[in-house]
Structure 1
């Protein structure tokens, strides 16, 4: 497998505080990769080092094959960056923003106009290109910022909390654009996020970061599968008696009554066990009103490895 970003024990210290602590990270080419963690986990500090904005205290990294400390100019030419804080001029049009960044990144004048038009189509702002940015919605502004980062055909696009502050519908719209850009531009996307759903639905791979360290990294599916525990909630008459008896059924790891009529079961491969639970209830003369299956979430994974929740603000 080809890795477009590789870090080796990369560390950033500020006096007695370690913001990033000996992180080893491998990001495969042409993937959407998330660094998931709470505010203060070290996510922004890590990508700031990868973008050559901050110099590591120790350790090293390569981006697109270039060493971040020895070849910073080549790294910067290979990447696009969209930071968490907004950086748009409301008195410029969308097209003017792209023209300015094309010039800054040295996109040759002969192909500049064509490339700007390509990017406008990619970010679905062609019809709004010549309107002032102050008239844009939050989602349109975010798409324009992403478009600026793509103007010079980067190999890697860094997105720091790309959907922070956006409403759920706009957030999902931005996810679709990021997927589209990943496919159409063959660009690797490395993003930071504290949104569980964003990491789960959008990303090919996820690294869980907490207190400056990468604790676990894999695909969202494999991370969740490692917990080996689905939840089945059964609404049933005589729940106390049902709780006692259902624990004897093979595959049920634990049973707890959580409301006056609901029993929560921890099981493996819940979809396979539901018929057995229904058959057991029928044989034991329990009247089941409903059965609800829940698979583990990335939040469950995060809690397992860190002992805390991420507050999604």
Structure 2
């Protein structure tokens, strides 16, 4: 049985470790992100995942500062991830704009820096910048997000550093089988965004039946499924009670039959993928603009 605690880690191909479960803060304004981070640190979470595109790096930074103090934690006790925004991609632009992310986060470095989306004709130059930021110690580990097989293979053709992780939409209805095989061969970790798959996965009869079997919530069943596959997972919650509940998955183990039953649910049901839009399409503002909340700081 894999004993799970919030301090449990998995190891990257660069030798560094990441907590296997963390908190995601997508679609939260700065005030909400600050509260969520404070609550997460109080609940024992050690890993926080944000991005410039979310528009809440400043809120996360404020939450980290107050949360560390309130819980008598040191910077080295936590793991912080952020991501390079589509509009900042390119070599020099990445270097310049990442400094603003550090300022908003009130940090001297991040533990993990990702290319948020593989903007065509730019992601190789962006990756060179990430390699430089790692050399400078400003990003301890570097990786990618939302890369499909073709773009990952293309990136690796010139990369000097292999990404430690590819953060993908991953849940019982979208299991990314092809690229997971490729990533396993390269020792690139899978990190799941949207790990609970929304209502469709949480209300799936197989998940609901397993929740009844183990007297757990559907979310706990899915997160346990992640943990047993050594998937890094970042469920979002704005309520400390739910954060705690999500982490309470160390008192049961899904059987091989249970794991296979969930694996059989795969529909390759992606909420968004490359064929859906062209990069920097103004009609798709969700992924090409930074969320600007009323409480956003003025640079």
Question: What is the TM-score normalised by the length of structure 1?
Answer: 0.35
Could you say which structure has the greater relative contact order, defined with CA pairs below 8 angstroms and 6 or more residues apart? 2
Rg larger in structure: 1
Q: Which structure shows the bigger proportion of residues in strand conformation?
A: 1
Query: TM-score under structure 2 normalisation?
Result: 0.36
Bigger proportion of residues as helix: 2
